[in-house]
Structure 1
């Protein structure tokens, strides 16, 4: 795995697919956003939303 070779100090997981791949958990991303969890390889994983999520939100000004 690339993470084992790179040995990052922190991995940013952007979106549910990345979060599940890195942590193995399918728990809701919104409730985990902003928290650091331990990845499958022991690396710290910071969980956040995928940027495309913001593009799908309805515009409150319309």
Structure 2
């Protein structure tokens, strides 16, 4: 992915790499997610095109 990913706004011990693009993301703890925000938006858009609810939070 070539777009700049904003730095996660969480404690450093909750930061990990995005499962899709390997950018730093809020992976652990409350509201943690395996995807960074751009990848999460892309996954939700892809699921919406298929007419399904995205399973990622």
**TM beyond 0.5:** no
TM-score (norm 1): 0.27
TM-score (norm 2): 0.28
Decide which structure has the larger Cα Rg and report it: 1
Answer 1 or 2: which has greater strand percent: 1
Answer 1 or 2: which has greater helix percent: 1
